[in-house]
Amino acid sequence: MTQHLYFLGIGGTLMGGLALIAKAKGYRVTGSDGHIYPPMSNQLAAAGIDAYEGFDPAQLRPPPDLVVIGNAQLPRGHPAIEHILNENLPYVSGAEWLGGAVLRERWVVAVAGTHGKTTTASMVAAILEHAGLAPGFMIGGVPLDFGESARLGAAPFFVVEADEYDTSYFDRRSKFVHYRPRTLVINNLEYDHADIFDNLRAIQTQFHHLIRTVPSSGLIVAPMRDAAVDKVLRQGCWTPVARFGAGQPARDSFARDTGERWCAEDVEADGSAFDVLLDDSRCGRVAWSLSGAHNVANGLAAIAAARHAGVPAAAAVEALSAFQGVKRRMELIAQRDAVKVYDDFAHHPTAIRHTLEGLRCRVGNEQIIAVVEPRTHTMSLGALRADLATCCAAANEAIWFRGPNLQWDLMEVVRRSVVPATVVDNVDRIVSRFTRPRRRPCHVVIMSNGSFGDIREKFIAKLGAV
């Protein structure tokens, strides 16, 4: 008889993606969430998965063979959690289910770090696909090359975005400790997730747990110079390490470096093209639609990881030149006359800074307006608010949206901002400002990790989709 899996929190990117993978593996799949929106609701319906809005104990009668529990807004006291515990139903976290039911059979390429996980993981998957390897993947966004955030794919390769956020209410370790990668990319490391980590040192502890799971026959791909990453590696590493980026590793970096260096030369000012070098050997030139030095670094890391999986560097360069990007990562969503509107995930001050700097290099002196909703737990708690005053420096102006969950006064940022800044609490007022006719080119960048009051849909309705 086909096993029945019930996914609690099925509307989220991770849990919905896991449900789709479970369906592809032949399980009977149902689940529930508070609210389930497109595109995930459409993907679940297309796969024939019954997904309920709101929890009713009747959904678990007869009892499923296993309940898979997400970590978003599912604490003790939630009616579903209490029912599962009281009825002694078998349960597991989403990350643990993925690790045990899918990844143990695969060559796992995991992409971790504070910034660039989704984009870099999407690049790796696109390179492997271009090479004919049909990888599986589980990514916290939708790569435009695939149009879906998760798929089972063919053995052996599986690309996973390795998130350091905690696993579930009953497992406070980072999700990535369940993935056991053979190839691990660590893009960078900064303080984030202020709701669960007290400081950077606590995050580094979790990253060292991850490093302990990588076999000695595997590979870790790490930046040339990132003090926080190097500190983790120096705590103990049993796996060869390849490096990417500019410069050289710190002299006291550590002994497992392979000597393999991935660098970019002849880089266009906006990052739209660059030569790829492995040590002193030129592997080809990437010319793509992406921008910014951060994406050049992401590309180098992806090429290094794909090479470890067997894809020649020249083939990876060719694949990246055709890479389309990821939804909500500087995605051009609306345009009319002189106004262009972009959607960007922007979960951290450093991400905001890098994104705007990349756009500035691309558009020169044209006007850039950053429209930012500080919605992540880290930003809403005010843990990095000192950095918010300068992160929009590459823009001409910053508009800060005051959402209901903000626990501090945004006027602090406005008073200290290095560019003209305002605080607004009405989405329609923002949209109406930029839908009036303009002569001068204007680039409006929406920066939020949430729905932002449907601001994207409102811009598209007023200006027209691209």
Tell me: the pLDDT tens digits for 84-97? 999 999 999 999 99
> Phi-psi category of 346—alpha, beta or left, where left has phi over 0 and alpha has psi -120 to 50?
left
- Pick from 156, 157, 130: which is nearest to 143 by CA? 130
pLDDT of residue 369 exceeding 70:
yes
Phi, psi at 92, each rounded to 5°: -155, 155
Rounded mean pLDDT of 377-393?
81
| pLDDT-based confidence at residue 383 (cuts at 50, 70, 90) | confident
Rounded mean pLDDT of 252-273?
83
| pLDDT-based confidence at residue 132 (cuts at 50, 70, 90) | very high
What does the pLDDT look like over 62-118, one tens digit per residue? Answer: 999 999 999 877 899 999 999 999 999 999 999 999 999 999 999 999 999 999 999
CB-neighbour burial class of residue 282 (10 A; exposed 0-12, middle 13-18, buried 19+): middle
Rounded mean pLDDT of 368-382?
82
- Pick from 151, 127, 131, 130: which is nearest to 139 by CA? 151
Expressed in angstroms, the distance from the first to the final Cα of the chain is 48
DSSP state, residue 379: H
Q: In this structure, which topology does domain 331-463 adopt according to CATH?
A: Protein-Tyrosine Phosphatase; Chain A (3.90.190)
Q: What is the pLDDT of residue 256?
A: 74
pLDDT of residue 466 exceeding 90:
no
Q: Are 245 and 225 in contact (CB under 8 A)?
A: yes
**In the chain, pLDDT over 70 holds for what percent of residues?**
97
Helix (H) or strand (E) holding 333, with range, is strand 331-336
* Domains of the chain by residue range: 4-92, 102-321, 331-463
Q: For the chain, what is the mean pLDDT? A: 92
CATH superfamily assigned to domain 4-92: NAD(P)-binding Rossmann-like Domain (3.40.50.720)
- Which token pair is 297? 């670094």
Q: What is the pLDDT of residue 255?
A: 54
- Which token pair is 213? 């799971």
Q: What is the pLDDT of residue 225?
A: 87
d(CA 378, CA 93): 23
In angstroms and rounded to an integer, the radius of gyration of the C-alpha atoms of the chain is 22
Greater pLDDT, 72 or 313 = 313
Instruction: Name, in order, each residue with C-beta under 8 angstroms of 230's C-beta and a sequence gap of 6 or more.
Output: 222, 249, 250, 253, 254
Q: What is the pLDDT of residue 239?
A: 96
Instruction: Decide: pTM greater than 0.95.
Output: no
d(CA 253, CA 113): 18
Q: Write down the architecture of domain 102-321 according to CATH.
A: 3-Layer(aba) Sandwich (3.40)
Q: What is the pLDDT of residue 393?
A: 96
